[in-house]
Amino acid sequence: MTAKKYRLTLTLLVITLAVTAYISLHIGTISIPWFAVLVSFDAGELDISAETAETYKTVVSQIRLPRVLTALLCGAALAISGAAYQSMFMNPLVSPALLGVLAGAAFGASLGMLISNNILVAQLLAFGFGVVSVGTAVLLARFFPGNRLIMLIMGGVISSSLFTALLSVIKFIADTQNELPAIVYWLMGGFSAVSSSAAAMVLPFVAVGIVLIIAMSGYLNVLSMGDEEAASLGVNVKRSRMVLIIITTLISSLTVALGGMIGWVGLMIPHIARMICGADNRQLLPISALIGAIYLLIVDNICRTAFAGEIPIGIMTSLMGIPFFILVLSRTESRWN
């Protein structure tokens, strides 16, 4: 995509994201007048009592804003991680879920929930086991000869199964009164339980991670040429890939610590972005991040407003993702050959 078209697309996406976020702040169980945020909850302007204005303000700033920020940053993080993984492993079929990151992080976070009440412990363990599971997938793929693309998927499947099994052990051990339901509901995915303090603690890391990956997007173009070619172009392959794996795994694990297992975003969004802007990672990554943010924000809005009770977001992304991805696959197949 030419520089001009790219800037235009970027601008349009930023506007769409801003509008979606603005709308998201106003919709929900308590429906808030559309101009409330624009007029800073001025009771006179909105023609409501000062008390109601105060309630609206609290709902928006304490509940909805953290949730909106969490949803959009998690969407951006998952989408950009998927795009980065796909490029660095030269494999359009991998994603945080397929490489086992989500399963590993889920195991780590549930272990954390079991042994401690401190959210920091859950987050650290989520990240730790996220790294372990990618490592397992990549090492298994190296260990067996054969088609690199397929072996990495196999490695991911094995690593995913391993941590899913370990997660079952945690569920089995967990106390059925409190811990088990908490783990199960959290794993289905959702941002309803995200406290503003947890969001404030975790989201800066996610945001910095996203910025760092975008800054390194030039490396992804080189790495996607293959190890030997990248080395012949003067890039230290092992070091740059290791740095990228750590950052991508960090941010995708943190989404698990915040919102549970949210599948399909990391696989689907990069493909959609690639259809829009092509394969160049310097454009693909920012566009993936923005589309991922908009997508997860919209899905989260549906989850919390469509029905009387809230639907877990992981279920929604799968239900919406699968048919959409089949459509995308049928249109992009030729681009992979």
Partner 1 sequence: MYPLKVENLSFAWGSKITIDDVTFSIETGTVTSILGPNGSGKTTLLKLMLGFLSPVSGRVMLGEHDLATLDLAMRAKKMAYVPQRHTAVFSYRVLDIVVLGRIPYSNVFCRITDNDYQIASECLTQLGIGHLAERSYTEISGGEQQLVLIARALVQQAEILIMDEPVSGLDYGNQLMLLKQLRRLAQNGITCVKTTHYPEHALWTSDRAIFVRAGKIIATGNSADIINSSTLKDLYNADIRILESEAGSQKMRTCVPVFD
Q: How far is the CB of 234 from partner 1 (least distance, A)?
A: 3
Q: How far is the CB of 92 from partner 1 (least distance, A)?
A: 6
DSSP string for residues in 291-336: HHHHHHHHHHHHHHHSSSSPPPHHHHHHHHHHHHHHHHHHHHGGGG
Q: Report if residue 236 touches partner 1, rule: CB under 8 A.
A: yes
Q: How far is the CB of 337 from partner 1 (least distance, A)?
A: 7
* Residue 166 CA from chain centroid, whole number: 23
Q: Report if residue 264 touches partner 1, rule: CB under 8 A.
A: no
Three-state DSSP class for 82? helix
Site string for partner 1, 112-151 (x = CB under 8 A): -------------------------------------x--
Classify burial at 185, counting beta carbons within 10 Å of its beta carbon; exposed 0-12, middle 13-18, buried 19 or more. Answer: middle
Site string for partner 1, 176-205 (x = CB under 8 A): ------------------------------
Binding piece for partner 1, criterion CB under 8 A, among 51-59, 60-68, 107-115, 226-234:
226-234
Q: Which two tokens stand for residue 173?
A: 């051990």
Cβ(126)–Cβ(257) below 8 Å: yes
Q: For tokens 């009770």, name the residue.
A: 309
The single residue among 205, 221, 276, 310 that binds partner 1, judged by CB under 8 A, is 221
The single residue among 17, 199, 203, 222 that binds partner 1, judged by CB under 8 A, is 222
Q: How far is the CB of 143 from partner 1 (least distance, A)?
A: 17
DSSP string for residues in 220-285: HHHHTT-HHHHHHTT--HHHHHHHHHHHHHHHHHHHHHHH----SHHHHHHHHHHHHH-S-HHHHH
Q: Report if residue 28 touches partner 1, rule: CB under 8 A.
A: no
Q: Report if residue 279 touches partner 1, rule: CB under 8 A.
A: yes
**Range 79-108, binding partner 1 (CB under 8 A):** 87, 90-92
Q: Report if residue 305 touches partner 1, rule: CB under 8 A.
A: no
In whole angstroms, what is the distance from residue 208 CA to residue 204 CA? 6
Q: How far is the CB of 325 from partner 1 (least distance, A)?
A: 18
Residues with Cβ within 8 Å of 147's Cβ and at least 6 positions away in sequence, in order, are: none
Residues of this chain that interact with partner 1 (CB under 8 A) are: 87, 90-92, 149, 215-216, 218-219, 221-222, 224-226, 228-229, 231-236, 274, 278-280, 335-337
